[in-house]
Structure 1
Amino acid sequence: MAIKERKEREKQEMRNLIIESATHLFLKQGYDKTSIRNIAEDIEYSPATIYLYFKDKDEIFYVIHENAFAILDQELRKHDVVADPFERLAAIGRTYIQFAFENPDYYDLMFIMRAPMQQIKNEEKWEALDCAFGYLLQTLTACFEEKKIRQADLHVTAIMVWSYVHGLVSLYVRERMCILMMPDDAVREVLYGSFDLFLANLKA
């Protein structure tokens, strides 16, 4: 049993090493310019070793995607304790923005970087993003039921909220907010304030 457990641990350690290297290379040089050979050279193993753990580069990218979205979903669901759904909506929106502030490279990889989506499309469902988006839908449904925001189509409203915060943080992550010519902490407050104003306009 000890030998089996050791082999399983070593296998997981190798997977983690590959994922760590791939993440670094994707963020440093982009998806298209990163190859299995690049990853193998970075961890000082042969490309054949990589293929023992992943069938191709798309699958590696998919695992990284899932891990990152799982972290985001975990952060959003910390607001389950907020009873008022409108306050919870505000809290998850601000947490989404904060996640981008604290993890700009991961946010770029998750939402901005161009990369093949075929691996994700091959899955029955995009589980990690489905959880995070589902939490937004759940919160908005409660807002409608309690008449906290103006009645509208649920999915249209969800996409509108998501698109708004995504637009804010994408400008920030790609350093377009330099147009404001403000210190970074002031820029962040502008983004939070903009989101708060947006939510105020949704109120019933």
Structure 2
Amino acid sequence: MIIISTPVRKNKQQAEMRAAILQSARVLLTHNGIEHLSIRKVAQQIDYSPAIVYHYFNNKEEIIDALLEEDYEKIVEVVKTTAEYYSKKDFKNGIVAYIRLVTDMGAFYKNVMISDLPRILQRTSVLHKGAAQERPALEALCSDLRVCPAFANQSDADIELAAQIIWSTLFGLATRIIIEDVDKDQKERLAEQAAELILKMFR
């Protein structure tokens, strides 16, 4: 018989409660947008008092930060994979995988990425000079471009500009797929074609 010590059990319960709070916030944010998210609504969603939520997060901004951190790590991993195993086929697959990932996030991704709230923009803005030094996913995309023959003699500044344009193009496509609720087959065709068009830039 395995006896779980009280501290271990307590840590497990705390982790489960934190996960429940974040999942509740994700659902609310997806359906109602960032502006309508509140500690009170999150607490109602999980049938606890707001005091419980405040025990884990000081305000709704901390909840949003935690959600962004979770999803951003997934995006970084997808982009880094193409940087580490570069070939034209792998890069294409990386682009398709990125579009699949963010469109599967659905309205949550859209609501966060189109938000102009200053705190959100601190985490999501990618078009300013030097952004690649602050955004691991953008830097990973720059790394992809550096090993492409077409960018062999380009400066870091020009490579960053190219990465920003590619990122924004894919963001626009992904956002429209989410807004228009495009069916799975059409989404795959759009993702494949987007990848092909971007690859033509490198030939």
Instruction: Show the counterpart of 1:165.
Output: 170
Matched, 1:71 2:70: no
Structure 1 unpaired stretches of 5+: 178-182
Matches within 5 A, 1:83-102: 83-84=86-87, 86-102=88-104
Gap change, CA 1:43 and 1:97, over 3 Å in 2: same
Equivalent residues of 1:32, 1:115 under 8 A apart: no
Equivalent residues of 1:68, 1:106 under 8 A apart: no
Equivalent residues of 2:112, 2:120 under 8 A apart: no
1:20 Cα deviation (Å)? 0.7
Equivalent residues of 2:82, 2:90 under 8 A apart: yes
Q: TM-score, normalised by structure 2?
A: 0.79
Distance 1:190 1:47 in 2: 43
Structure 2 unpaired stretches of 5+: 124-130
Distance 2:19 2:116 in 1: 21
The one-character-per-residue Cα deviations of 1:38-77 (angstroms, maximum 9, x if unpaired) are 1111111111111111010000001001101112223333
Q: Give % identity.
A: 23
Instruction: Show the counterpart of 1:46.
Output: 49
Equivalent residues of 1:72, 1:96 under 8 A apart: yes
Instruction: Show the counterpart of 1:203.
Output: 202
Distance 2:121 2:19 in 1: 20
Equivalent residues of 1:27, 1:109 under 8 A apart: yes
Q: Number of residues paired by the alignment? A: 188
Distance 2:49 2:181 in 1: 40
Equivalent residues of 1:150, 1:203 under 8 A apart: no
Distance 1:119 1:95 in 2: 24
1:160 Cα deviation (Å)? 1.1
Instruction: Show the counterpart of 1:27.
Output: 30
Gap change, CA 1:23 and 1:59, over 3 Å in 2: same
Gap change, CA 1:25 and 1:151, over 3 Å in 2: same
The letter of the residue matching 2:195 is F
Moved more, 19-28 or 163-172: 163-172
